[in-house]
């Protein structure tokens, strides 16, 4: 009873409700808003028992554009125009039978200066992917919350382990030392599922940080601390589904707020049906409208109320947490016309804001379909307006090529070459997110059994090809994990993040010899990358691999970087006259990691299973 009273008091403080209105209004979303937005229309959701029986009014200076009632009497969707309004508290009045029933306050806040023109992540950045529950437990006091069903138990591989926002904040120096400039956290909002809640993708409240991770204020603090270090924060946003425990799922505003068949139907996961001209309607529907899993009801973005709710929620987080970008989960499972509207609404509000969508496909043309201004999608009169997609074909290639020591027509480093040969399909290949693994895939160091040479070759390529490199936490210290044993195996605790850990890989003194070897290499490589604009936005010329040796150049008018990858088990001598069109009048190359200077006149010797990165000099 006491806890309920405390929660009620907290609700009143957050929303500005009076005691008289509490009986009627249990939720108000967005909980507050901002003045000076490009889109001045704001739709406020008022939720409470039979609240739709009331009529609502606002101050005379605040035009109410629409009041939408649904078949569920517990909801009122009130749309107002915020144009020319100053920061203030608005008072909404609710009347029943022409008599004022209660009032409630709603706050309009002032936006940050130049908020609309905020910069975002780009190819000049390196993104570090963190699974917060498995990174570091900075505040053991929040491990368990009475309001949350699942409790922390580090012995359960797929359970909650206690990592939190404080743990990330405490180790920002480590992330920066690694050379990362941007942090992407898997979802942090409340996930009150009974099992597997640690990953965050089954959200039950999209306006609150899960208390086991911290608070909304902690999330803003993470953003602020990153910005102090000239680093960026990317939110993992989920538009396709919520968790079954979401408060709206438990009391649907409308029957078609989620996709129903009626009730549950499983997606077929066949994303090609979204553009296949020969696809059956039922197959296309099951892909887009079927539920990802039974515990995650599929949101109906074609419902304007749903789409507007998701759009405002995304913008609210950008403003309230001062975000620098989004990664959008399962982007291509959404209603494709509606998700394009969502994406365009956000980029209209923030013209420089980068959004990368998860489009997990194994064909470049099919992935390119989803990038903004795709000529392929234009054939079907479609534009996703999505600035970036994840380069899964690059990941697929890197998972195989470094075990293919003897090249053939289709095997060996030719797979990397062919991946980039298809860049003509993308409207903006420089804005692809490149990676060798993430939180859903087999770990790279598991595939190659912690073979440092193969790791070094892969990271050298990742750091120097076009796109935005992303590193998954722990790769830089050799972390492995076999996905066939379950997702927990690829999402292990970072050593040193928990009290009592005997191995603390966050510090040089605490790392093993193997961990230090991986970290030293990764840190030197990615810190160098921060300084070289040729590998950020330079052009690319690559040469057909010969005898399993791949050579390519990244260059601007001022700088040129030459990369040589030898995937053989023996050393090779590379004659340089073949590369004259890129070497031009450069005479020497300074190797980035060893700082050895070599002449470019005749030939370069490269050791087996090695990558060399040369900054060319005259």
Does residue 251 have an active-site annotation?
no
CB 298 within 8 A of CB 266: no
CA distance 442 to 159: 19
**Both tokens assigned to 592:** 């980035």
On the question of a cis peptide bond just before residue 262, with omega within 30 degrees of 0, the verdict is yes
Which element (helix H / strand E) includes 597?
strand 597-599
Read off the DSSP letter of residue 561. E
* CA 451/CA 521 separation, integer angstroms: 13
Q: What is the 3-state secondary structure (H, E, C) of 47-99?
A: ECCCHHHCEEECCCCCCEEEEECCCCCCEEEEEEECCCCCCEEEEEEEEECCE
Asked about 446 being catalytic, the answer comes back as: no
| Closest alpha carbon to 296 in 195, 425, 426 | 195
Tell me phi and psi for residue 591, to 5 degrees: -70, 130
Instruction: Please name which of 127, 238, 83 lies closest in space to residue 469, comparing C-alpha atoms.
Output: 127
Residues 6 or more apart whose Cβ sits within 8 Å of residue 18: 12, 102, 103, 104
Q: Which two tokens stand for residue 47?
A: 């939720």
- Token duo for residue 285: 């529907």
Whether 336 contacts 344, CB under 8 Å: no
Rg of the Cα atoms in the chain: 26
607: alpha, beta or left? (left if phi > 0; alpha if psi -120 to 50): beta
Q: Which one is catalytic: 358, 391, 437, 446? A: 358
Q: Is the CB of residue 425 less than 8 Å from the CB of residue 471?
A: no
Catalytic, out of 324, 329, 437, 615: 329
Q: Angle 345-347-349 (CA atoms, 0-180°, nearest 5)?
A: 70
Question: What helix, strand, coil percent values describe the chain, rounded to 5?
Answer: 35, 25, 45
- Pick from 355, 358, 359: which is nearest to 343 by CA? 355
CA angle 518, 522, 525 (to 5 degrees): 145
CA distances from 406 to 335, 417, 470 (A): 44, 16, 28
Please give the structure tokens belonging to residue 259.
């996709």
Helix axes 304-321, 216-228, angle to 10 degrees: 50
DSSP H or E segment with residue 205:
strand 205-209
Residue whose token pair is 């979401």: 246
**Number of neighbours of residue 502 by Cβ within 10 angstroms:** 7
| Nearest-angstrom CA–CA distance, 105 and 362 | 51
Calculate the dihedral angle through the C-alpha atoms of 331, 360, 491, 405, rounding to the nearest 10 degrees: -160
Cα–chain center distance at 475: 18
Round to whole Å and give the CA distance between 11 and 79.
22
Residues forming the active site: 329, 358
């Amino acid at each position: 009873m006491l806890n309920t009273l405390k929660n009620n008091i907290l609700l009143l403080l957050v929303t500005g409700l009076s005691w008289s209105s509490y009986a009627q209004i249990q939720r108000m979303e967005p909980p507050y808003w901002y003045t000076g937005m490009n889109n001045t229309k704001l739709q406020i959701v008022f939720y409470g028992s039979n609240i739709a029986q009331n009529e609502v009014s606002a101050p005379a200076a605040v035009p109410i554009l629409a009041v939408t009632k649904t078949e569920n009497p517990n909801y009122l969707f009130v749309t107002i125009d915020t144009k020319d309004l100053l920061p203030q508290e608005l008072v909404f009045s609710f009347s029943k039978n022409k008599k004022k029933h209660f009032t409630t306050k709603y706050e309009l806040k002032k936006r940050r200066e130049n908020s609309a023109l905020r910069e975002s992540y780009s190819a000049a950045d390196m993104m570090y992917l963190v699974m917060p529950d498995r990174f570091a437990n900075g505040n053991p006091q929040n491990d368990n919350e009475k309001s949350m069903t699942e409790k922390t138990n580090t012995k359960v591989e797929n359970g909650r382990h206690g990592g939190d926002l404080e743990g990330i904040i405490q180790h920002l120096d480590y992330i920066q030392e690694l050379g990362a400039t941007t942090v992407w956290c898997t979802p942090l909002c409340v996930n009150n599922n009974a099992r597997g809640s640690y990953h965050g993708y089954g959200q039950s409240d999209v306006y609150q940080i899960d208390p086991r991770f911290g608070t909304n204020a902690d999330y803003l603090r993470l953003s602020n601390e990153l910005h102090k270090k000239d680093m960026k924060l990317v939110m993992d946003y989920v538009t396709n589904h919520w968790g079954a425990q979401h408060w709206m799922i438990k009391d649907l505003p409308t029957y078609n707020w989620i996709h129903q068949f009626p009730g549950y139907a499983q997606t077929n996961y066949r994303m090609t049906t979204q553009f296949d001209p020969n696809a059956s309607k039922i197959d296309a529907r099951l892909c887009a409208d079927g539920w990802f899993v039974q515990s995650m009801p599929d949101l109906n973005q074609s419902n304007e109320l749903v789409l507007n709710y998701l759009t405002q929620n995304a913008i609210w987080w950008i403003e309230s947490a001062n975000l620098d970008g989004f990664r959008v989960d399962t982007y291509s499972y959404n209603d494709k016309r509606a998700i394009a509207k969502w994406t365009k609404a956000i980029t209209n509000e923030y013209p420089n804001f980068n959004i990368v969508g998860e489009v997990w496909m194994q064909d470049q043309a099919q992935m390119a379909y989803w990038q903004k201004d795709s000529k392929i999608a234009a054939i079907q009169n479609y534009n996703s307006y999505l600035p970036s997609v994840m380069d899964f074909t690059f990941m697929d290639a890197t998972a195989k090529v470094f075990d293919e020591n003897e090249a053939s027509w289709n095997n060996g480093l030719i797979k990397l070459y062919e991946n980039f040969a298809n860049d003509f399909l993308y409207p903006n290949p420089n804005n692809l997110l490149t990676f060798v693994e993430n939180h859903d895939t087999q770990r790279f160091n598991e595939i190659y059994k912690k073979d440092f040479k193969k790791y070094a070759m892969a990271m050298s390529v990742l750091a120097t090809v076009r796109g935005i490199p992303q590193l998954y936490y722990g790769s830089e210290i050799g972390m492995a994990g076999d996905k066939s044993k379950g997702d927990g195996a690829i999402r292990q605790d970072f050593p040193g993040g928990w009290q009592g850990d005997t191995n603390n890989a966050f510090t040089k003194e605490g790392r093993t010899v193997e961990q230090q070897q991986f970290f030293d290499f990764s840190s030197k490589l990615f810190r160098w990358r921060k300084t070289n604009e040729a590998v950020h936005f330079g052009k690319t010329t690559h040469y057909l691999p010969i005898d399993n040796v791949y050579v390519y150049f990244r260059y601007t008018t001022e700088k040129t970087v030459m990369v040589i990858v030898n995937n053989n088990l023996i050393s090779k001598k590379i004659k340089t006259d073949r590369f004259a069109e890129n070497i031009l009048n450069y005479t020497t190359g300074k190797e980035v990691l060893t700082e050895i200077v070599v002449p470019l006149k005749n030939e370069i010797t490269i050791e087996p299973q090695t990558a060399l990165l040369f900054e060319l000099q005259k």
